[in-house]
């Protein structure tokens, strides 16, 4: 049985907000009976985009993560909602706009904050994967269609195939600890879950300051083990990414060959820029 | 005899149509009158009695017809009335008085529209979907859309998925790979949010009059922007407006009516301001608002003097090819360039994938910008933050490294440029004793000398594309600063040193580069639709010869610089320098207001309400609106925002989704010739009327036509045609009929122009120039007289070469623009010590990311809920401003706190976004808020709408330009709270 999945590549999202707007355009003012009641004009973000800024000036990297109902296979909303929440054979979870009337408990049941309470209609609402369109033969949900970068891909396939693919491409759900078997997968989660240490190396040459290119730079943890190594670029910049937040002490050893060796220590909380390190 | 038969045929056809179409039958009943068509000598004729289910008609003439159409001869009448109709023959007959129409406008217009309705009533638009919806097509400033409609209501709008019936997509081979775009169109957020703009609670639904405005008594101009409105009928509104137009001419004379409008409009060639509005305004005569080239300032007033391109407002050629970039380019330097935000103006995200490919191919990226902008963040690479307004110093230091280290193309400089010695003398400091070294610039720019050397060496040794400004070939925040002319000039000089036009060395960022077919003709909006305005639009370039229609001329020679409208209204005099793209020197011709012997302005016909968001020191404008000499203001607008509530009478216009129009995606024409070179697929859209106009709103065309009726001008204005018929006229004037029939185009709603084959694609920009060949890129400029040697030989400059020392500036004395580009520090920046001590933060206000100018901002639109755009605090959606983390901590400012941005010019309250992406000491907040919400007296109180242009200076970049400089702006920022008295007023207003 082929089921719907969504794959979101965080590194490809540049926060154009089209997916967010498409989920407004489709649902605000529209009733799709059997699927969804109209979304209020303001306040609901059935697809929302969370922003994660890493680093400090001037080494800074912002990632954007579109989040929506995960259409969990083990959905807490379904457990709470009973027959007001339907899990379809194609994997899509639907909250029945009629049966769920007044059920604030359903709205509160989603650990991802993907259900919004419609005050006027007194119903819980979420992004339905555009099931009403897929059922009419649309090839993909609107968020995928409007995405200019290809950050969102909708995939209808077997669970087994999806699993293989997830393993091969390191696709993971947004919050692994929740164990709800989400059908929305993320690529490049490291871009928000991991940290970096950046820095810059300069030196004096012929009495002027120059960037130091190609210094061998090694990162060691507090046990003194080499975690990673890199080289400074033409601007003297270097960066170690993929480090765990709050992972404590590190030593950065800069081997600038004939220009000397320098070591800098830091404690990693969140991503940071060490500043400009002068070899002189 | 033949005419008699044709005339009998007309009455037969009218009644036959009535039998088929009940709506047509109803129309025949609508008006009781007798229309007569005859030869001028009345020898032959026929009259038609309207007012019943069927038209009764008789041969011969009527003793008292209500309207008459006469032909000079029976032959002419026969020819004109026999299908297929040729509008050119009608126009010629009218121009030579061989055909005349008389009678009251409401009857003649009703008659001619009824005649044409016999044909158009059969036309079918849109595609029926299996679920009962109809799929229409429309176009926006941010891309084309499918519009799904059910029961007269818009359900959704989506970008176009192309299918097998559409032309295939191009493929480009480079680096052993094949690149091809996705089979769909992209869309900008402001386009995708269109449904919320149509159904906006801010829509104007009926005509209104300010409660304390009495055209026959007290006008109370001092209450503009303060008093409320009452609903009036269309009839009353049109009477007041047409009455005031007549009164202005009668009482004040030539020039008393000013027309003021935005630089953009809802998409569509017929409804565009350059079309309907120009035609109407020319028909009544008006003082023109002289537009300064807002987005091009530094290029137009600066760069142009070194290499020409006056017809592009000083922008570079746009024909770089994808192959050139992918095969040869090794590095791309984005300088004041954020194409992921500005989208090449209209091209949505068409170029996004191409830049992603460039990244995958390993092309290095550098971003020079005070803000780690969206392109920089998305593509990565080296971010070099630069203090606003100091970029020219950085550029000079790069040139210094190239000169001292021999890192430039000496052959090119020798053969293809002039004046290098003078430039070198300045850069090396032999002229003034100050070498423009990396160390020299460090203090100014905040970029350390080592970084400048590293960048200069990379650039000097790698084949590099310079993406100057968002388009890559122009624009950029740095060109909208006090040093904007210097920066744009420096960009040309740097490229001249590197061999502009050699493989992999060019202006660009892959925004323009696709092999779409640029030889396929469809009129661009700058061609003026049906305005016939040969002077004020690009109509003369092509469309005037292709689409028969009457010309229109504004007889009033008086003009006011857009940014000096407040002075003109308040002080009664001002002056400016023109945007005249014909030549390099056109911009030197200073003009004054009032023009000799002309009336000052006493009435403003205002189209839309965007100027608070886009005019520097915008509180001036609020004050000007309240001037006693301004006797009447009418505002024709879709939404009740900005300047609309400063009018005496408001006319409600509808959106482009509620009227018929036609237009090609991104086809701007004029200054942006071949702007479609950005697209992956050229899409020409029939912009269907998807729903009926909401409330009592009407299309701009219809409003002008209704006013024209009151002035006896309706036949001249519309030439008997409806908007839909003008769409067909545009269709017929293009290359479309060779490819698709009108009925198919009208039904399907769009046509994808097949891409060009290899031989049809122009050579890469400037290749001709680098190789010393004749100009071979397909832009029809410079104009013939602008060449110094033979036609098509060399550039537009006096020498025909890139001039480091500009000949044109040698003959014009502007202290801010010496012939050799020099670094002259900003008149408002970190160097202006006194002011900087008081206002220690620099405000930059680039074009916005989600909205397009004021389009889609405010209006209760979907964009309100995008946190980067606006933030909801205590019931009001506040405009956002970005502040560096350290600057915020210093002031106790946290995320989404309300902050007051202020200086001596005013104060604006924004919601804070704290980020390390903006350099310390700089505040980043977009310009073009649609909302202007002063919490007290307009022009004199704090604005909570978000018009940060309240804070920017009205001063021009240099003394003898009309160039705006919003990015030279010092401010202070502090937390804002509602505890003060003024604060509580704001809170009330907000809720
Ligand atoms: S994400 Fe929330 S709403 Fe969606 S299925 Fe899972 S628990 Fe239910
Ligand atoms: S549409 Fe794509 S790029 Fe845009 S915000 Fe959504 S995921 Fe990101």
| Beta-carbon contacts below 8 Å between A and B | 144
Task: Indicate whether A139 and A234 sit together in one domain.
Answer: no
Q: What is the pLDDT of residues B74-90, one digit of tens each?
A: 999 999 998 888 999 99
| Residue pLDDT, tens place only, B803-845 | 999 999 999 999 999 999 999 999 999 999 999 999 999 999 9
Residue labelled with tokens 């020039």: B255
B352-381 pLDDT, tens digit each: 999 999 999 999 999 999 999 999 999 999
Minimum-distance CB partner of B451 among A45, A56, A235? A235
The pLDDT of A49-64, averaged and rounded, is 98
Gap from CA of A10 to ligand 2 centroid (Å): 9
Per-residue pLDDT for B991 more than 50?
no
pLDDT band at B987 (very low <50, low <70, confident <90, very high): low
**CATH number assigned to the domain comprising residue A274:** 2.60.40.10
Is A63 touching ligand 2 by the criterion CB < 6 Å? no
Statement: residue B770 has pLDDT above 80? yes
Q: Any idea what the CATH number is for the domain that residue A177 is in?
A: 3.30.70.20
A47 CB less than 6 Å from ligand 2?
Answer: no
Cβ–ligand 2 distance for A125 under 6 Å, the answer no
Q: What is the pLDDT of residue B982?
A: 52
Q: What would the mean pLDDT of B909-920 be, rounded to a whole number?
A: 98
**Which structural domain range is residue A11 located in?**
3-192
Percent of chain B exceeding pLDDT 90 equals: 97
- Give me chain A's average pLDDT, please: 97
If you count them, how many residues does chain B have? 991
Domain check: are A68 and A176 in the same one? yes
Residue B760 CA to residue B12 CA, distance in Å, equals: 51
pLDDT for the residue numbered A256: 94
Q: What is the DSSP string of B930-974?
A: S---BSSSTTTS-B-S--GGGTS----SSTT-----TT--EEEEE
Residues 441-500 in B contacting A (C-alpha not used; CB under 8 Å): 448-451, 453-455, 457-458
The residues with which A56 forms a beta bridge, in sequence order, are A59
Task: Say what the pLDDT of residue B786 is.
Answer: 97
Of A192, A225, A241, the position where a domain reaches its end is A192
Structure tokens at A120: 């006027």
What pLDDT score was predicted for residue B116? Answer: 92
Residue B262 has pLDDT above 80, yes or no: yes
The mean per-residue pLDDT over the stretch B25-37 comes to: 97
Residues A28 and A121 sit within 8 Å (Cβ to Cβ): no
Widest distance between CA atoms in chain A: 79
Q: How many other C-beta atoms are found inside a 10 Å radius of the C-beta of residue B804? A: 26
Interface of B with A in 117-136 (CB under 8 A): 130-131
Q: What domains are defined for chain B?
A: 2-120 (3.30.1050.10), 310-515+767-810 (3.40.228.10), 833-990 (2.40.40.20)
The answer on A209 and A169 residing in a single domain is no
Q: Is the CB of B920 less than 8 angstroms away from the CB of A41?
A: no
Q: Which residues of B476-502 are buried (b: 16+ CB within 10 A; e: fewer)?
A: bbbbbbbbbbbbbbbbbbbbbbbbbbb
Q: What is the mean pLDDT of residues B863-886?
A: 97
In three-state secondary structure terms, B758 is: helix
The answer to whether the bond into B649 is cis (omega within 30° of 0) is no
Mean pLDDT, to the nearest integer, of A18-24? 98
Instruction: Closest CB to A145: pick one of B158, B189, B352.
Output: B158
**Considering CB atoms only, which of B340, B450, B916 is closest to A211?**
B450
CB atoms A142 and B872 under 8 Å:
no
List the structure tokens of B21. 């179409």
Which numbered ligand comes closest to the C-alpha of A64?
A: 2
Q: What is the pLDDT of residue A31?
A: 98
Do A127 and A227 reside in the same domain of the chain?
A: no
Q: Is B697 exposed, middle or buried (0-12, 13-18, 19+ CB in 10 A)?
A: buried
What's the complex ipTM? 0.98
In three-state secondary structure terms, B194 is helix
CB B665 within 8 A of CB B521: no
Q: Are A167 and A201 in the same domain? A: no
CA distance B523 to chain A (A): 27
Residue of B nearest to A145 (CA): B159
> Is 80 exceeded by the pLDDT of residue B878?
yes
Give how far A86 is from chain B: nearest CA, Å. 24
State phi, psi for B147 to the nearest 5 degrees: -120, 115
Question: Do residues A246 and A267 share a domain?
Answer: yes
In the listed set A160, A192, A224, which residue is the last one of a domain according to the structure? A192
Chain A residues lying within 8 Å of B145, measured CB to CB: none
Interchain contact, B453 vs A30, CB within 8 Å: no
Cβ of A20 under 8 Å from any chain B Cβ? yes
Does A157 share its domain with A221?
Answer: no
Q: Is the CB of A21 under 6 A from ligand 2?
A: no
Same domain, A40 and A28: yes
Q: Report the C-alpha gap between B458 and B465 in whole angstroms.
A: 12
Q: Helix (H, G, I), strand (E, B), or coil: what is residue B10?
A: helix
- Contact A42/B at CB under 8 A: yes
- Residue that is written with structure tokens 């929740």 in the block: A178
- Supply the residue whose CA is at minimum distance from atom 1 of ligand 2: A147
Tokens of B38: 């005859």
pLDDT, tens only, B114-170: 999 999 999 999 999 999 999 999 999 999 999 999 999 999 999 999 999 999 999
Cα–Cα distance, A278 to A259 (Å, whole number): 11
Whether A164 contacts chain B with CB within 8 A: no
Indicate the SS3 state at residue A98. coil
| Residue listed under structure tokens 């297929």 | B84
Question: Is ligand 2 within 6 A of the CB of residue A6?
Answer: no
Please tell me whether residues A220 and A181 are part of one structural domain.
no
The closest ligand to the CA of A72 turns out to be 1
A214 touches chain B (CB under 8 A): no
For B244-300, give the secondary structure using H, E and C.
Answer: HHHHHHHHHCCCCEEEEECCCCCCCCCCCHHHHHHHHHHHHCCEEEECCCCCCHHHH
pLDDT confidence bin for B981, thresholds 50/70/90: very low
> What is the Cα Rg of chain A in Å?
24
Average pLDDT, chain B: 96
A85 shares its domain with A150: yes
Burial of B438 (0-12, 13-18, 19+ CB in 10 A): buried
Q: Which atom of ligand 2 sits closest to the CA of residue A17?
A: 5
Contact B139, B267 (CB under 8 A): yes
The total number of structural domains that make up chain A: 2
Asked if A10 reaches chain B (Cβ–Cβ under 8 Å), the answer is no
Whether A14 is in the pocket of ligand 2, judged by its Cβ within 6 Å, is yes
pLDDT at residue B1 above 70?
no
Distance from CA of B195 to the nearest CA of A (A): 7
Q: Residue B915's pLDDT is what?
A: 98
Residues A142 and A71 placed together within one structural domain of the fold: yes
Burial B172-204, CB ≥16 within 10 A → b, else e: bebeeeebebebbbbbbbbbbbbbbbbbbebbb
For B703-719, what is the HEC assignment? HHHHHHHHCCCHHHHHC
Nearest to B345 by CA among B607, B143, B497: B143
The predicted pLDDT at position B83 comes to 83
CA B384 to centroid of ligand 2, rounded, Å: 26
What is the pLDDT at residue B2? 86
Are B643 and B606 in contact by the 8 Å Cβ rule? The answer is yes
> What confidence tens digit (pLDDT) does each residue in B97-110 have?
999 999 999 999 99
pLDDT (average), residues A59-81:
98
Q: A133, A167, A192: which is the final residue of a domain?
A: A192
Confidence of residue A280 (pLDDT cuts 50, 70, 90): confident
Report the pLDDT averaged over residues B496-509.
98
**Disruptive mutation site among A57, A153, A205 for chain B (greatest number of B CBs within 10 Å):** A57
Q: Within 10 A of B815 (CB to CB), how many other CB atoms are there?
A: 9
Cβ pair B677, B514 in contact under 8 A: yes
Q: Could you tell me if A59 and A85 lie in one domain?
A: yes
């Amino acid at each position: 049985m082929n089921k719907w999945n969504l794959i979101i590549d965080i590194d490809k999202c540049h926060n154009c907000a089209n997916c967010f707007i498409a989920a407004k355009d489709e649902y605000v003012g529209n009733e799709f009976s059997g699927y969804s009641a109209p979304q209020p004009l303001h306040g609901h973000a059935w697809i929302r985009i969370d922003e994660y800024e890493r680093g400090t000036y001037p080494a800074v990297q912002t990632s954007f993560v579109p989040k929506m109902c995960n259409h969990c296979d083990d959905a807490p909303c379904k457990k709470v909602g009973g027959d007001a929440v339907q899990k379809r054979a194609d994997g899509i979870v639907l909250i029945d706009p009629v049966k769920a009337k007044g059920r604030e408990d359903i709205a509160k049941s989603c650990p991802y904050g993907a259900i919004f309470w419609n005050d006027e209609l007194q119903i819980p609402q979420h992004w339905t994967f555009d099931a009403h369109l897929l059922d009419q033969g649309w090839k993909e949900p609107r968020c995928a269609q409007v995405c200019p970068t290809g950050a969102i891909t909708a995939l209808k396939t077997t669970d087994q195939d999806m699993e293989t693919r997830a393993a091969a491409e390191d696709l993971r759900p947004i919050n692994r600890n929740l164990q709800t078997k989400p059908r929305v997968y993320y690529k490049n989660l490291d871009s928000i879950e991991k940290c970096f240490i950046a820095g810059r190396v300069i030196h004096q040459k012929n009495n002027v300051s120059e960037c130091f290119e190609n210094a061998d730079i090694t990162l060691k943890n507090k046990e003194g083990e080499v975690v990673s190594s890199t080289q400074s670029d033409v601007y003297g910049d270097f960066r170690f990414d993929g480090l765990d937040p709050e992972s404590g002490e590190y030593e950065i050893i800069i081997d600038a060959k004939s220009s000397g060796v320098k070591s800098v220590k830091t404690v990693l909380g969140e991503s940071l820029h060490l500043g400009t390190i002068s070899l002189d | 005899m033949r005419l008699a038969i044709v005339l009998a045929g007309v009455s037969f056809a009218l009644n036959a149509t009535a039998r088929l179409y009940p709506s047509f039958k109803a129309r025949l009943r609508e008006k009781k009158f007798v229309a007569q068509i005859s030869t001028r000598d009345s020898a032959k004729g026929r009259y038609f009695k309207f007012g019943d289910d069927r038209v009764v008609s008789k041969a011969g003439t009527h003793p008292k017809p209500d309207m008459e159409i006469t032909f000079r001869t029976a032959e002419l009448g026969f020819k004109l009335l026999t299908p297929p109709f040729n509008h050119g023959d009608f126009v010629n007959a009218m121009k030579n008085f061989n055909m005349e129409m008389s009678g009251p406008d409401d009857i003649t217009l009703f008659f001619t529209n009824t005649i044409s309705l016999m044909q158009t009533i059969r036309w079918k638009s849109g595609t029926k979907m299996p679920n009962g919806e109809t799929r229409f097509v429309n176009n926006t400033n941010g891309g084309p859309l499918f519009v799904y409609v059910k029961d007269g209501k818009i359900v959704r709008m989506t970008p176009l998925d192309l299918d097998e019936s559409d032309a295939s997509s191009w493929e480009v081979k480079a680096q052993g790979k094949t690149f091809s775009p996705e089979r769909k169109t992209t869309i900008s957020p402001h386009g995708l949010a269109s449904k919320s703009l149509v159904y906006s609670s801010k829509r104007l639904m009926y005509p209104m009059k300010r409660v304390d405005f009495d055209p026959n008594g007290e006008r109370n101009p001092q209450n503009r922007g303060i008093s409320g409105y009452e609903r009036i009928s269309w009839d009353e509104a049109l009477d007041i407006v047409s009455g005031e137009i007549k009164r202005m001419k009668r009482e004040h004379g030539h020039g008393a009516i000013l027309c003021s409008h935005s630089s953009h409009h809802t998409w569509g060639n017929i409804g565009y301001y350059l079309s309907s509005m120009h035609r109407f305004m020319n028909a009544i005569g008006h003082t023109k608002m002289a537009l300064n080239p807002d987005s091009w300032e530094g290029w137009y007033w600066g760069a142009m003097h070194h290499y020409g391109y006056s017809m592009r407002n000083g922008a570079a050629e746009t024909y770089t090819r994808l192959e050139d970039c992918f095969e040869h380019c090794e590095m791309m330097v984005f300088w004041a360039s954020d194409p992921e935000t500005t989208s090449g103006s209209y091209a949505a995200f068409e170029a996004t994938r191409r830049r992603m490919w460039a990244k995958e191919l390993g092309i290095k990226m550098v971003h020079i910008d005070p803000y780690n902008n969206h392109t920089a963040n998305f593509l990565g690479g080296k971010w070099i933050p630069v203090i606003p307004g100091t970029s020219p110093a950085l550029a000079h230091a790069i040139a210094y490294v190239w000169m001292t280290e021999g890192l430039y193309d000496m052959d090119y400089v020798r053969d293809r440029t002039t004046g290098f010695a003078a430039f070198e003398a300045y850069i090396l400091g032999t002229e003034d004793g100050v070498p423009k070294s990396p160390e020299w610039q460090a203090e100014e720019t905040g970029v350390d000398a080592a970084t400048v050397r590293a960048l200069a060496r990379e650039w000097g040794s790698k084949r590099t594309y310079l993406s100057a400004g968002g388009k890559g070939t122009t624009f950029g925040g740095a060109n909208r600063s006090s040093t904007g002319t210097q920066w744009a000039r420096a960009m040309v000089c740097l490229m001249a040193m590197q061999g502009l036009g050699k493989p992999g060395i060019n202006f660009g960022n892959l925004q323009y580069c696709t092999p779409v077919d640029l030889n396929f003709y469809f009129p661009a909006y700058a061609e003026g639709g049906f305005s016939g305005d040969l002077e004020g639009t690009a109509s003369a370039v092509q469309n005037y010869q292709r689409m028969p229609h009457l010309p229109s001329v504004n007889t009033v020679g008086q003009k006011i610089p857009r940014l000096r409208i407040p002075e003109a209204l308040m002080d009664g005099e001002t002056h400016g320098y023109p945007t005249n793209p014909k030549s390099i020197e056109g911009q030197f011709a200073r003009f004054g207001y009032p023009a000799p012997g002309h009336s000052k302005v006493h009435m403003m016909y205002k189209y839309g309400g965007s100027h608070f968001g886009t005019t520097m020191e915008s509180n001036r404008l609020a004050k000007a609106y309240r001037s006693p000499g301004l006797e009447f203001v009418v505002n024709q607008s879709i939404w009740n925002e900005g300047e609309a509530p400063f009018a005496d009478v408001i006319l409600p216009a509808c959106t482009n989704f509620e009227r018929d129009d036609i237009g090609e995606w991104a086809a701007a024409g004029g200054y942006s010739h071949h702007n479609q070179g950005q697209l992956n697929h050229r899409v020409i859209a029939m912009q269907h009327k998807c729903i009926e106009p909401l409330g009592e709103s009407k299309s701009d065309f219809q409003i002008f036509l209704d006013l024209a009726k009151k002035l006896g001008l309706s036949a001249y204005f519309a030439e008997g045609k409806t908007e839909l018929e003008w769409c067909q006229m545009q269709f017929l004037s293009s290359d479309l009929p060779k490819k698709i029939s009108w009925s198919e185009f009208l039904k399907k709603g769009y046509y994808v122009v097949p891409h060009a084959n290899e031989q049809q694609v122009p050579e890469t920009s400037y290749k001709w120039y680098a190789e010393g060949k004749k100009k071979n890129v397909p832009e029809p400029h410079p104009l013939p007289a602008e060449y110094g040697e033979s036609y098509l030989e060399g550039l537009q400059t006096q020498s025909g070469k890139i001039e480091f020392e500009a000949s044109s500036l040698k003959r014009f004395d502007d202290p801010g623009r010496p012939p050799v580009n020099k670094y002259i520090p900003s008149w408002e920046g970190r160097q202006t010590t006194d002011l900087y001590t008081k206002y220690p933060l620099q405000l930059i206000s680039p074009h916005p990311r989600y909205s397009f100018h004021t389009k889609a901002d405010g209006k209760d639109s979907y964009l309100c809920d995008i946190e980067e755009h606006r933030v909801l605090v205590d019931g009001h959606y506040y405009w956002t401003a970005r502040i560096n983390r350290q600057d915020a901590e210093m002031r106790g400012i946290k995320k989404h706190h309300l902050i007051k941005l202020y200086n001596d010019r005013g104060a604006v309250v924004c919601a804070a976004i704290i980020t390390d992406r903006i350099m310390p000491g700089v505040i980043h907040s977009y310009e073009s808020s649609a909302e202007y919400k002063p919490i007290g007296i307009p022009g004199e109180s704090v604005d909570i709408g978000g018009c940060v242009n309240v804070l920017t200076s009205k001063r021009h970049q240099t003394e003898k330009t009309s160039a705006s400089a919003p990015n030279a702006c010092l401010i202070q920022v502090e937390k804002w709270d509602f505890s003060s008295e003024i604060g509580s007023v704001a809170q009330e207003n907000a809720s």
